[in-house]
Amino acid sequence: MEAFLHQVLSGLATGGIYAIVALALVMIYQATHLVNFAQGEMAMFSTYLAWTMIDAGLPYWGAFAGTVALSFALGIAIERIVIRPVGNAPVLAVVIVFIGLLVILNSVAGWIYTYTIKSFPSPFPGGSVLGGYLSRHELGVMGVTLGVLLLLFLFFRFTPLGLAMRAAAQNPVSSRLVGIRVGWMLALGWGLAAAIGAVAGMMVAPIVFLDPNMMAGILLYGFAGALLGGIDNPAGAVAGGLAVGVLENLSGAYLVGTELKLTVALVLIVGVLVVRPSGLFGRVLVNRV
């Protein structure tokens, strides 16, 4: 029982990271109806930026804030420079741009920082809490995840800009007719996705270590979480991400061992999608014309 509880709790901690990645995917999906395959590499690149700042002597939280801000700006730049020109291109062309972005970020990171694994510090002290159920880092990750979710919720729910971003994603034409600069809202969405992806990268790097391929698996789990919860539903994506984290841990511990746990998670997800294609909490369209 105690081991079980331990697996669930630490599953929630990694699930929180998947939830953030899922949320970043949802943010771009809602605006473009495309899955940003480069999301993981963007987060990886941001984590290297944080590593550079820490390496240069910045205190951890200073580097954290700097990385989030810089990633936000880079996300906007990517939308303006790379994504915007293919705005009206066929889906396949945009997907190829995403994949191109993925490859470029990966190889540029490898070129600058080499493919050697680096350790990345955790801002939280070592040791465990709750009688050994949870490491301090895992607990800290949970806190950071909750903080990110709460901030995003408040932003989208209560600020005019957040409302405008939701409106622009839902109905671009009506949004333009009330004076919302829809193009900028899309860019802002990319900025936010890049910023929260950076948080996910910095939280996971102390566990998986920093290398240019560190986000590959995480992106897959985040994607699975988003699909599971409903890729057009932010709250669903968060729930999906957490569920995938727990599922991954439990199946790794009790069913198939660590080598095959990814398979089990994916099989379960495919099963859910066959039964409910819009995900567990996917939006049932309420619409009248």
Partner 1 sequence: MTAILEVSGLVAGYGAAPVLHGLDFAVPQGGVATILGANGAGKTTTLRAVSGLIRPAGEIRFAGERIDRLSTEDIARRGIAHVPDGRGTFVHLSVEENLRLGAYTRRDPAGVARDFERVFALFPVLQERRRQQAGTLSGGEQQMLAISRALMLRPRLLLMDEPSFGLAPLIVREIFRIMRAINAEEGVAILLVEQNAGLALELASQAYLLETGRVVVAGSADALGADDAVRRSYLGY
Report the first-to-last Cα separation within the chain, whole angstroms.
54
Q: Which is nearer to partner 1, 274 or 285 (CB)?
A: 285
> Cα–Cα distance between 31 and 202 in angstroms, integer?
25
| Side-chain-facing half-sphere of 210: CA atoms under 13 Å | 26
Regarding 84 and contact with partner 1 (CB under 8 A), the answer is no
Written as one letter, the residue type at 213 is: N
Regarding 235 and contact with partner 1 (CB under 8 A), the answer is no
Regarding 176 and contact with partner 1 (CB under 8 A), the answer is yes
Q: What is the residue whose two structure tokens read 């910095």?
A: 202
Q: Which is nearer to partner 1, 44 or 231 (CB)?
A: 231
Regarding 283 and contact with partner 1 (CB under 8 A), the answer is yes
Cβ proximity of 196 and 148 under 8 Å: yes
Regarding 179 and contact with partner 1 (CB under 8 A), the answer is yes
Written as one letter, the residue type at 180 is: I
Calculate the CA dihedral of residues 127, 13, 31, 34 and round it to 10 degrees: 110
Q: Which is nearer to partner 1, 57 or 288 (CB)?
A: 288
* Region binding partner 1 by CB under 8 A among candidate stretches 55-63, 100-108, 170-178, 197-205: 170-178
Regarding 159 and contact with partner 1 (CB under 8 A), the answer is no
Q: Which is nearer to partner 1, 66 or 172 (CB)?
A: 172
Regarding 284 and contact with partner 1 (CB under 8 A), the answer is no
Tokens at residue 244, please? 């995938």
| Side-chain-facing half-sphere of 168: CA atoms under 13 Å | 24
| Minimum separation from the CB atom of position 183 to partner 1 (A) | 9
What are the C-alpha distances in Å from 158 to residues 20, 67, 69, 151, 164? 20, 25, 22, 10, 11
Regarding 171 and contact with partner 1 (CB under 8 A), the answer is yes
* Region binding partner 1 by CB under 8 A among candidate stretches 48-56, 172-180, 190-198, 266-274: 172-180
State the sign of the Cα–Cα–Cα–Cα dihedral 74, 49, 166, 272: positive
Cβ proximity of 155 and 162 under 8 Å: yes
Regarding 163 and contact with partner 1 (CB under 8 A), the answer is yes
Q: Which is nearer to partner 1, 165 or 243 (CB)?
A: 165
Regarding 233 and contact with partner 1 (CB under 8 A), the answer is no
**Enclosing H/E stretch for 135:** strand 134-135
Regarding 170 and contact with partner 1 (CB under 8 A), the answer is yes
Regarding 275 and contact with partner 1 (CB under 8 A), the answer is no
Note the residues at the interface with partner 1 (CB under 8 A): 160, 163-164, 166-167, 170-171, 173-182, 283, 286-289
